[in-house]
Amino acid sequence: VTAEKAGFDHFMLKEIYEQPKAYRDTMMGRISDDGRSVVLNEIGMTAEQIRGIRKIQIVACGTAMHAGLVGKTVIESLARIPVETDVASEYRYRSPIITPDTLVIVVSQSGETADTLAALREAKRNGARVMAITNVVGSSVAREADDVIITQAGPEIAVASTKAYTSQLIAFYLFGLFLADTLGTRDADAIAEVVAAMHELPEKVERILTEAPVLKSLAESLAKHNNLFFIGRGVDFAVVQEGSLKLKEISYIHSEAYAAGELKHGTLALIEEGIPVISLISQEDLYEKTLSNIKEVKARGAHVLAVVNEGLEEEVGKSVDELFAIPKTLPLLAPALSVVPLQLLAYYASLARGNDVDKPRNLAKSVTVE
Ligand code: AGP
């Protein structure tokens, strides 16, 4: 068993460390030699069909849905097509407006999640084209979708998804660029800029991984609490939702992820002396806004850990108790870096609490029943 884990104590940790390779493998063969366009030969849609897409619905469960929240920002920003992201079990029963000019994207690591598969079938019945982002070739979702982008994360064993999520982000970046290229919403120079920054992501993840001991000691303090909060704005809000789920499922610490600006509309009532608040700031245009939210919780006694872009340490450091810096990248690509410390915090918190990291209670790796 230790051999399968390649020397790591748990599959989850091994899979976290496999992310640089998963990013490279998912990009491989999908970028032109000159780095100025994305080549997705697996997409059967013609340019004409792509130009006909009026809206996109991303449908998935759990962590895959969280990748879809980032996917919405990515596609809307790069291709200017309106995107909705739905939880598959809700989508099925809310009578969604699916038209032939809707593209439905289902996201599933396993490709076997019952609710996601049912959503795919519902979308096809209504005449939409369905694209799948999945990690498993030959899975039900891969077989039934019209187009499939396979994430090259390799087998994911731990119940808590890590490298599958980040590979799904890479798939969304590639697809967003592919749409932008076809629709002309981004020129080749702009595409080349994003592609170049994507190539730097694996090395930047490696730099974060070298800081694992720092995250371990931060997690050991968090593990003493039963409640905590995550806050972020913009795409950081999407990422903290994933950070919160990761922590819940394996450490059993209750946490909630909030859009930082929404705190004062209710949640602030729960902030009391000593409660940890993990605040993510990777979107520099929003950093002053989030900083003012940090000051609101600090004033009420919260213990704040800020995960911030390198370069913001001094400014943010004055207002928080703990700081963890992540390498800078383009704002749109930041989730592929910022989620990594949150994964490690969850892992080490689970470990500190003596839990079964790879097989948390009550959960299955793949949920094949409704
Ligand atoms: C992830 O950590 C969870 N265990 C869970 O939310 C998972 O992402 C969800 O069940 C969807 O699975 P899928 O990607 O295989 O469809």
Sign, CA dihedral 161-167-171-176, equals positive
Burial zone of 314 (CB within 10 Å; 0-12 exposed, 13-18 middle, 19+ buried)? exposed
Cβ of 62 less than 6 Å from ligand 1? yes
By alpha-carbon position, which residue is closest to atom 5 of ligand 1? 62
Site to substitute for ligand 1 among 15, 85, 109, 133, most atoms within 8 A of C-beta: 109
Tell me how far apart the alpha carbons of residues 34 and 25 are, in angstroms, rounded to a whole number: 18
Cβ of 110 less than 6 Å from ligand 1? yes
The residue type found at 58 is I
* Ligand 1 centroid from CA 305, angstroms: 27
ipTM: 0.98
By alpha-carbon position, which residue is closest to atom 6 of ligand 1? 62
* Ligand 1 centroid from CA 42, angstroms: 24
Does residue 149 contact residue 42 with C-beta atoms inside 8 Å? yes
Helices (H), the chain: 11-17, 19-27, 47-51, 62-79, 88-91, 114-125, 140-144, 163-183, 188-209, 212-222, 235-251, 287-299, 313-317, 335-352
Site to substitute for ligand 1 among 366, 369, 370, most atoms within 8 A of C-beta: 366
* Ligand 1 centroid from CA 368, angstroms: 11
* Ligand 1 centroid from CA 352, angstroms: 24
Tell me, what's the pLDDT at 1?
55
Tell me, what's the pLDDT at 369?
84
Catalytic site residue 124? no
* Ligand 1 centroid from CA 198, angstroms: 25
Shortest CA distance to 71 belongs to which of 98, 43, 106?
106
Catalytic entry in 21, 124, 216, 365? 365
* Conformational region of residue 6, where left means phi above 0, alpha means psi within -120 to 50, and beta covers everything else: left
Does residue 101 contact residue 123 with C-beta atoms inside 8 Å? no
Tell me, what's the pLDDT at 4?
87
- Look at the pTM and tell me if it is higher than 0.80: yes
By alpha-carbon position, which residue is closest to atom 9 of ligand 1? 62
Tell me how far apart the alpha carbons of residues 124 and 140 are, in angstroms, rounded to a whole number: 14
User: How do residues 77-97 score in pLDDT, each as one tens digit?
Assistant: 999 999 999 999 999 899 999
User: How do residues 127-157 score in pLDDT, each as one tens digit?
Assistant: 999 999 999 999 999 999 999 999 999 999 9
* Ligand 1 centroid from CA 62, angstroms: 5
Cβ of 63 less than 6 Å from ligand 1? yes
Cβ of 152 less than 6 Å from ligand 1? no
Cβ of 279 less than 6 Å from ligand 1? no
* Ligand 1 centroid from CA 22, angstroms: 17
Tell me, what's the pLDDT at 3?
62
Cβ of 161 less than 6 Å from ligand 1? yes
Low-confidence ranges of the chain (pLDDT < 50): none
Site to substitute for ligand 1 among 69, 367, 368, 370, most atoms within 8 A of C-beta: 367
